[in-house]
């Protein structure tokens, strides 16, 4: 096997090792075959009297290059040199500029090759290919201009997510196939298809970049046999063996990418590029289904066919692969499904028929207790509280409610409480025809409330013919306290935390939880409720986060010490571990424990989704949010968060669609309007963003977050005066009330003041900001800070590094 002619000793000399990647190269090579880093020969070592041309230090933001390009920011560095985002002042358009390192520019053969290949790359006109423009020279510096693609490369996306959801991976592969199809049609092979050369733009579209080493199939030239070009992890066997390559080599590389996207791992690993290259030539990859059981068998076979060692056994044209992928995306592909439910129910809020309107808390409490009891039954789909309570005080038709919630049955009822006397009525209704499956009236004393709840729950199980396991029956009838007064205080605490998340309302919630604990110190759920309330006090800056989260952790620990079999307590602990300890792994463990105990707790899935998003695991995060929405189909807060997660995943158009639907459901809810405006601003639709913010200003919940988002948007739109006005407003407000430092950082980012933005992120760190914890690693508005050393240090300190 002639694996590496350029690495052999056939010329009787020792190969040269690259100082950057340790790859070995021919003694005559000037640049590394793996990444084009310059190689040092003995004659290159300067004497005291010699001078060498130093690499250009780089371009500064705001400077003008070559009399035409105004530098906006540095985008990154590759083997060839630095890449910048710039404005082409001649045509007023954003472009990307790749400065070629001086030592490469000095190699006339390399420049000649670039010139030759660029003329072919420019022929490709396709929506999934980044357009190459020109190779030019300014003074002693060569540079390439190309289309600017905002977004992130696929390598970064895989690094964030671990592995992608099947649908998303197939969508990306399909678009890469479509771009390659056009290139192959006109006779161009890319030869270096890899995730870092695939961009995902702000609209979710895929672009193949860097056809810089592409070569025409018809043109023989400067990259002949005997010279290996490419990246070992993604190279075809024939490419490793430095044989002539064709379009089937790109298909192999795409197979490697599919494998990596869907398993989170490369098919071949090694300590050196050479060892990886040898495996590409000699070893068969492990079946990807063994690494990800969610990969359908037919998709696994498609990937393995792409990775055949002999190119005759692969797909012969990328269009064949495109056809297979399109089939898999379509309806024939078996998608991961949520559990199927034979029975489903929604418990509507029980109506308060008491003379005292303050008994509302008790009616809500009875409703929630029934919901919580029924969620213990695995064969019963129970709509969670928020969606059920959307119908409180409304008198909609039973069939319409059933259709909106997608359930077969409804439980409705009423409560009349007078002193210690109770009258509770309940009826189970078949949504299909409105008939009563069961009804009952209970005239009892307050001390009998637990027994009444048990009777209603068991009647529902009986009438729906739900199979009830012994352990499920025990959980169904389980009581966290036997003290009626403690239970009453607990219901009041939960009522204020649910319905009045003002500082006054949350403080009332704490008071009632404390009274419940004083009545029954072993009341685990009262400790859990208190923990959750403290988190909200810290999250909303009603109490210093450091203080609030510490108290929240103490309460959660106490709850678990009393009883560690309550899912809600593990969920509360997970929330605190994340926000207070910044312990992502511990929080993940606690959320998974909570879900194992009670998979029907929508709030746990909702919070878990946010945890997954923190480190960029967007596909898993979106799946967790979908599970929450299955249990809470019309909960506007979860629907808004689903749109927010799509925004953070850079799936901007999907985010806009989701947020529009949420606003349509509840036009008076602030959150979706806020995130819709932010999304518009991110994709450069500043007019729409500002109009959306102006609508949101009419809401009573107008906050410092809204002021900050407006300021960032005005700054990004070039309306600096308007941005400064709002920054001054935030500064003035901070003298009277706590203002979240993270929001002020947003404003300084918009104004291009990176150091000031980082100052406020560090203040948010000192304050133990929940917003910082959730958003700092994934927020698109912070993308301009990610290359700053202070930002990287902050990420590491927070435990959000990879």
Q: What is the pLDDT of residue 759?
A: 97
Task: Provide the percentage of residues in the chain whose pLDDT is more than 90.
Answer: 52
Q: Where are the alpha helices (DSSP H) in 717-750?
A: 720-733, 741-750
Number of Cβ within 10 Å of residue 136's Cβ equals 13
DSSP state of 577: I
CA distance 554 to 562: 13
Identify whether the C-beta of residue 462 lies closer than 8 Å to the C-beta of residue 471: no
Please determine whether the domains at 151-329 and 343-422+429-444+462-468 fall in the same fold group of CATH: no
The pair of three-digit structure tokens given for residue 676, joined into one six-digit string: 């819709």
- Pairing assessment for the beta strands 93-99 and 141-147 based on DSSP bridges: antiparallel
* Exposed/middle/buried for residue 220 (C-beta within 10 Å: 0-12, 13-18, 19+): exposed
Output the CA–CA distances (angstroms, integers) from residue 552 to 513, 533, 534, 535, in the order listed.
13, 8, 5, 6
Q: What is the pLDDT of residue 213?
A: 54
Identify whether the C-beta of residue 73 lies closer than 8 Å to the C-beta of residue 85: yes
Q: What is the pLDDT of residue 549?
A: 94
Domain residues of the chain, as ranges?
1-52, 64-147, 151-329, 343-422+429-444+462-468
Element of type H or E holding 636: helix 636-648
CA distance 645 to 778: 10
Contacts of 145 (CB under 8 A, 6+ apart): 69, 88, 95, 96, 97, 98, 133, 134, 136
CA distance 48 to 69: 38
- Pairing assessment for the beta strands 69-77 and 64-65 based on DSSP bridges: antiparallel
Does the domain at residues 64-147 carry the CATH identifier 3.40.50.2000?
A: no
CA distance 221 to 225: 10
pLDDT tens figures, 284-334: 999 998 888 788 889 999 999 999 999 999 999 999 999 899 888 854 333
Indicate the CATH number for domain 151-329.
1.10.510.10
Tokens 């070893």 correspond to what residue? 283
pLDDT tens figures, 177-227: 999 999 898 888 888 899 988 998 766 789 998 875 544 334 433 344 444
Q: What is the pLDDT of residue 107?
A: 76
Determine the Cα angle at 145 with ends 119 and 152, to 5°.
Answer: 115
Ordered DSSP codes for 231-252: -GGG--HHHHTT----HHHHHH
Q: What is the pLDDT of residue 698?
A: 63
Checking if the pLDDT of 434 tops 60, the result is yes
Query: Which phi and psi angles does 684 have, rounded to 5°?
Result: 85, 10
Checking if the pLDDT of 362 tops 90, the result is yes
Q: What is the pLDDT of residue 116?
A: 76
Sign of the torsion angle spanned by Cα atoms 641, 642, 644, 649 = positive
pLDDT tens figures, 369-403: 999 999 888 888 999 999 999 999 888 888 889 98
CA-based nearest residue to 103, from 121, 73, 83, 80:
80
CA-based nearest residue to 611, from 600, 624, 602, 599:
624
Top CATH class of 343-422+429-444+462-468 equals alpha beta
Length of the chain: 802
Q: What is the pLDDT of residue 705?
A: 87
CA-derived radius of gyration, the chain: 31
CA distance 763 to 743: 11
Tokens 């898993």 correspond to what residue? 620
Element of type H or E holding 385: helix 385-389
């Amino acid at each position: 096997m002639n694996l590496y002619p350029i690495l052999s000793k056939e010329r009787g000399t020792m190969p040269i090792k690259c100082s950057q990647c340790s790859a070995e190269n021919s003694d005559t090579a000037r640049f590394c075959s793996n990444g084009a880093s310059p190689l040092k020969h003995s004659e290159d070592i300067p004497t005291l009297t010699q001078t060498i041309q130093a690499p250009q230090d780089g371009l500064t933001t705001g400077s003008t290059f070559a009399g035409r390009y105004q530098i906006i920011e540095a985008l990154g560095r590759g083997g060839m040199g630095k890449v910048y985002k710039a404005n082409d002042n001649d045509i007023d358009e954003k472009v990307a500029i790749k400065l070629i390192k001086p030592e490469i520019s000095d190699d006339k053969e390399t420049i000649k090759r670039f010139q030759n290949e660029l003329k072919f790359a420019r022929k490709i006109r396709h929506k999934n290919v980044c357009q190459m423009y020109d190779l030019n020279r300014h003074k002693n510096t060569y540079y390439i201009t190309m289309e600017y693609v905002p977004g992130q490369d696929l390598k970064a996306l895989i690094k964030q997510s671990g592995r992608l959801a099947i649908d998303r991976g197939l969508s990306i592969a399909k678009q890469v196939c479509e771009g390659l199809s056009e290139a192959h049609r006109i006779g161009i092979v890319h030869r270096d298809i890899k995730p870092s050369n695939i961009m995902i733009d702000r609209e979710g579209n895929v672009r193949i970049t860097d056809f810089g080493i592409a070569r025409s199939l018809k043109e023989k030239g400067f990259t002949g046999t005997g010279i290996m070009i490419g990246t070992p992890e993604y190279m075809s066997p024939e490419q490793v063996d430095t044989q002539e390559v064709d379009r089937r080599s790109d298909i192999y590389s795409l197979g490697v990418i599919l494998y990596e996207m869907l398993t989170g791992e490369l098919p071949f690993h090694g300590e050196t590029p050479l060892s990886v290259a040898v495996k590409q030539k000699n070893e068969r990859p492990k079946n990807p289904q063994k690494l990800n059981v969610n990969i359908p068998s037919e998709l696994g076979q498609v990937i393995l066919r792409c990775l055949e060692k002999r190119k005759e056994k692969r797909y012969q044209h990328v269009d064949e692969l495109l056809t297979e992928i399109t089939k898999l995306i379509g309806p024939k592909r078996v998608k991961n499904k949520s559990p199927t439910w034979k029975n489903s129910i929604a418990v509507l809020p029980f109506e308060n028929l008491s003379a005292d309107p303050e008994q509302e808390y008790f009616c809500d409490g009875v409703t929630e207790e029934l919901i919580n009891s029924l969620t213990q039954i695995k064969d019963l789909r129970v709509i969670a509280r928020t969606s059920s309570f959307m119908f409180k005080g409304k008198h909609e038709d039973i069939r319409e409610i059933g259709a909106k919630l997608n359930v077969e049955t409804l439980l409705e009822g009423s409560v009349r409480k007078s002193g210690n006397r109770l009258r509770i009525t309940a009826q189970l209704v078949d949504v299909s025809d409105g008939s009563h499956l069961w009804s009952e009236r209970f005239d009892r004393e307050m001390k009998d409330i637990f027994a009444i709840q048990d009777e209603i729950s068991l009647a529902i199980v009986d009438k729906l013919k739900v199979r009830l396991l012994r352990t499920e029956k025990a959980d169904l009838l389980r009581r966290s306290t036997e003290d009626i007064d403690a239970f009453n205080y607990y219901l009041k605490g939960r009522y204020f935390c649910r319905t009045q998340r003002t500082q006054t309302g949350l403080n009332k919630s704490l008071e009632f939880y404390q009274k419940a604990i004083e009545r029954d110190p072993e009341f685990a759920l009262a400790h859990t409720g208190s923990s959750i309330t403290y988190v909200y006090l810290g999250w909303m800056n009603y109490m210093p986060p450091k203080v609030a989260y510490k108290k929240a952790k103490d309460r959660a620990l106490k709850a678990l010490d009393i009883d560690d079999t309550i899912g809600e307590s593990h969920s509360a602990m997970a929330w605190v571990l994340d926000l207070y300890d910044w312990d992502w792994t511990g929080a993940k463990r606690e959320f998974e424990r909570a879900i194992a105990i009670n998979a029907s707790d929508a709030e746990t899935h909702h919070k878990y989704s946010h945890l997954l998003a923190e480190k960029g695991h967007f596909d898993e995060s979106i799946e967790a949010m979908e599970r929450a929405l299955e249990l809470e189909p019309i909960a506007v807060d979860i629907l808004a968060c689903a749109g927010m997660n799509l925004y953070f995943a850079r799936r901007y158009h999907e985010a806009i669609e989701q947020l529009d639907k949420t606003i349509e459901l509840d036009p008076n809810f602030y959150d979706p309007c806020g995130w819709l405006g932010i999304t518009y601003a991110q994709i450069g639709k500043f007019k729409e963003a500002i109009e959306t913010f102006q609508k949101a200003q009419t809401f009573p919940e107008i906050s410092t977050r809204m002021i900050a988002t407006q300021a960032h948007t005005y700054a990004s739109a070039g309306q600096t005066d308007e941005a400064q006005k709002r920054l001054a407003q935030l500064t003035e407000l901070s003298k009277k009330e706590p203002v979240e430092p993270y929001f002020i950082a947003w404003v300084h980012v918009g104004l291009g003041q990176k150091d000031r933005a980082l100052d406020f992120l560090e203040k948010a760190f000192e304050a133990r900001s929940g917003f910082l914890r959730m958003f700092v690693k994934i927020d698109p508005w912070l993308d301009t800070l990610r290359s700053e050393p202070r930002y990287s240090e902050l990420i590491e300190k927070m435990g959000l590094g990879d």
